[in-house]
Amino acid sequence: MHKRNVIRALTAVTLAMGLSASWAQDNTFKIGLLLPLTGPFASTGKQLETAARLYMAQNGDTVAGKKVQLIVKDDTGVPDVSKRLAQELVVNDKVQVLAGFGLTPLAMTVAPIATQSKTPMVVMAAATSAITEASPYIVRTSFTVPQVVTILADWAIKNNIHKVVTLVTDYAPGVDSETYFKQRFVAQGGQVIETLRVPLRSPDFAPFLQKVRDAKPDALFTFVPAGVGVSLMKQFSERGLDKVGIRVIAEGSVTDDDILGTMGDVALGVVTAHHYSAAHNSAVNKRFVEAFGKASGGLRPNFMAVGAYDGMHVIYEAAKATQGAGKDALLQGMKGQSFESPRGPVSIDAQTRDVVHNIYVRKVEKNGGQLWNTEVQTFTSVKDPAKAAK
């Protein structure tokens, strides 16, 4: 080939490559999903990832004419890792959305990156009230701790529980659990006789449970993050607390559906408040539980799975409504959405960007030989009371 033709050919190839790269850029809709897939909170990551992939399998991988690309990264549950991965996802991969966030500290550390890059950030798992205030680009599809523990405090007062010891994991959602439960319970004449906090990493509940036993409360109020409830309840029964008549009331993460099956009969009768039970009686939920079981090789979806499934819905609907535009337009498309989720009706408050949904009081019961969180009472359209008070 003549030299000039070689140059022309090369130029054409380079141009075509450039064009196809920019075509791919314009025609993909990238979601960066940050999850703890290894480490102590790996069960949360697995629930979230399975549900996000299930949503895509059921709803297609094209939205507003763009191919949806889910980029899943393992943050190992460590904030510094989350931060680095979020930066890479924004700068190198140019994701339109950051999503996931299995624990509050992971969401908090990424919030400034969402703000600086104007990237909508969908919090599918973490539940401390203040998260949505950490960035105007945050939208939450999980739940807020005050939403559930205030309802549980009301239930306790009405059900002859007057003296309580609280035992929570010592980090933000645990502190929210303790604070908002106590405030509501004490305002109605209840008494919190002791407040105990256990470390987040490798907790040993035994010495704390001994204190609970010695304090002789009517009930133990507790919060531990998803996945941890099995060891708490095992030690509760080993220390014989169930035998001395101390009832357990808990934020619903304690009896999360992923682990409830392995908790044993000590869990029977535990009363919790939460926004999702795999036993929720609706056609949408029955289909979801069945599909999730098939997709996961037999797991039961927990509230983490529903947070991710609904988060994907919010992202898809916003992308459709805004024709795949990113940044502020995409964020606007997320605000004010309302739809039916496996948990029941859900909306995203346009002002606070936080989730509004039903909260259920549930009791652990055996049904067909298996333990379930049976919903016994429903409170509709509950907003985060921590924000309503401001």
Site for ligand PHB in 151-190 (CB under 6 A): 173
Judged by CB under 6 A, the residue of 98, 126, 164, 220 near ligand PHB is 126
Q: Which is nearer to ligand PHB, 28 or 231 (CB)?
A: 231
> H-helix or E-strand containing 140?
strand 138-140
Find tokens 């019961």 and name the residue.
365
Determine if 212 is a binding residue for ligand PHB (CB under 6 A).
Answer: no
Closest approach, Cβ 127 to ligand PHB, in A, equals 4
Q: Which is nearer to ligand PHB, 82 or 322 (CB)?
A: 82
Q: Which is nearer to ligand PHB, 171 or 332 (CB)?
A: 171
Determine if 128 is a binding residue for ligand PHB (CB under 6 A).
Answer: yes
Determine if 305 is a binding residue for ligand PHB (CB under 6 A).
Answer: no
Determine if 355 is a binding residue for ligand PHB (CB under 6 A).
Answer: no
Give the C-alpha separation, 234 to 231, whole Å. Answer: 5
Residue nearest to ligand PHB (CB): 253
Render 335-383 in DSSP notation, one character per residue. TT-EEEETTEEEEE-TTT--EEEEEEEEEEEEETTEEEEEEEEEEEEE-
Torsion angle (degrees, nearest 10) of CA 308, 67, 63, 347: 20
Q: Which two three-digit tokens encode residue 11?
A: 């130029």
Using CB under 6 A, which of the segments 120-128, 132-140, 234-242, 367-375 binds ligand PHB? 120-128
Q: Which is nearer to ligand PHB, 11 or 262 (CB)?
A: 262
Judged by CB under 6 A, the residue of 103, 151, 259, 270 near ligand PHB is 103
Q: Is residue 62 classed as helix, strand or coil in its secondary structure?
A: strand
* # binding residues, ligand PHB (CB under 6 A): 9
Find tokens 């919090």 and name the residue.
123
Using CB under 6 A, which of the segments 75-83, 121-129, 148-156, 350-358 binds ligand PHB? 121-129
User: Residues 153-158: contacts with CB within 8 Å, 24+ apart?
Assistant: 153/180, 153/181, 153/182, 153/184, 153/185, 153/188, 153/190, 154/184, 154/188, 155/249, 155/271, 155/273, 155/361, 155/377, 156/185, 156/190, 156/219, 156/221, 156/249, 157/185, 157/188, 157/189, 157/190
Q: What are residue 179's phi and psi, to 5 degrees? A: -60, -55
Closest approach, Cβ 42 to ligand PHB, in A, equals 13
Determine if 127 is a binding residue for ligand PHB (CB under 6 A).
Answer: yes
Determine if 226 is a binding residue for ligand PHB (CB under 6 A).
Answer: yes
Q: Which two three-digit tokens encode residue 59?
A: 């709803």
Q: Which is nearer to ligand PHB, 235 or 253 (CB)?
A: 253
Q: Which is nearer to ligand PHB, 68 or 106 (CB)?
A: 106
Binding site for ligand PHB (CB under 6 A): 103-104, 126-128, 173, 225-226, 253
